[in-house]
Amino acid sequence: MADTTKLEIGAPEKPDALMEICDDGHPGGRNPSKVALKDLKAAGFSKTPILRVLRAKCIDCCGGILSEVRACPITNCELWPYRMAKNPFSNKKGNAASFGNLKKTLRSQQ
Ligand code: SF4
């Protein structure tokens, strides 16, 4: 019988602290919110703005070719609106509509 206490499945650089034995008896990734920060850092993760994470995933998806990310035609992908590391729904910054709204707000306060 296989020794399931040793988790050797997955990328070898990922330490066992990120893995667990799932309910079905197979090894799987742990819930990241339950992993100690020191273990996440040891695995090479760091606090990163989520839009940068999404952009990195898109770059990976396109084999590192930035122009492919820019021209991505997969408009039904959940990441598609965020692939340029901007949130088009944000009221804070990044789109013309939000700047227009900001101008209106500032004018109304004068
Ligand atoms: S939006 Fe395009 S580039 Fe980004 S993950 Fe989806 S398919 Fe890949």
With b for 16 or more beta-carbon neighbours within 10 A and e for fewer, the 68-98 pattern comes to: ebeebeeeeeeeeebbbbebeeeeeebeeeb
Alpha-carbon dihedral sign for residues 13, 16, 19, 21: positive
In this prediction, residues 34-43 reach a mean pLDDT of: 94
| Strand runs labelled E in 2-87 | 19-21, 27-29
The answer for residues whose C-beta is within 8 angstroms of residue 82's C-beta and 6 or more apart is 51, 54, 55, 58, 88
Substitution site in 72, 75, 82, 87 for ligand 1 pocket (most atoms within 8 Å of beta carbon): 72
Ligand 1 centroid – CA 60 distance (Å): 9
Ligand 1 centroid – CA 3 distance (Å): 38
Q: What is residue 8's predicted lDDT score, i.e. its pLDDT?
A: 42
- Is residue 63 over pLDDT 80? yes
Residues with CB under 6 A from ligand 1: 57-58, 61-62, 69, 72, 74, 77, 79-80, 83
Q: What is residue 107's predicted lDDT score, i.e. its pLDDT?
A: 72
Nearest of 29, 38, 33, 30 to residue 10 by alpha carbon? 29
In this prediction, residues 92-109 reach a mean pLDDT of: 61
Where does the pLDDT of residue 91 fall: very low under 50, low under 70, confident under 90, or very high at 90 and above? confident
Ligand 1 centroid – CA 79 distance (Å): 6
Which residue's alpha carbon is at the smallest distance from atom 7 of ligand 1? 74
Could you report the per-residue pLDDT of 7-31, keeping only the tens digit for each?
Answer: 344 444 555 899 999 999 999 999 9
In this prediction, residues 77-99 reach a mean pLDDT of: 81
Average pLDDT of the chain to the nearest whole number: 82
How far apart, in whole angstroms, are the C-alpha atoms of residue 50 and residue 85?
9
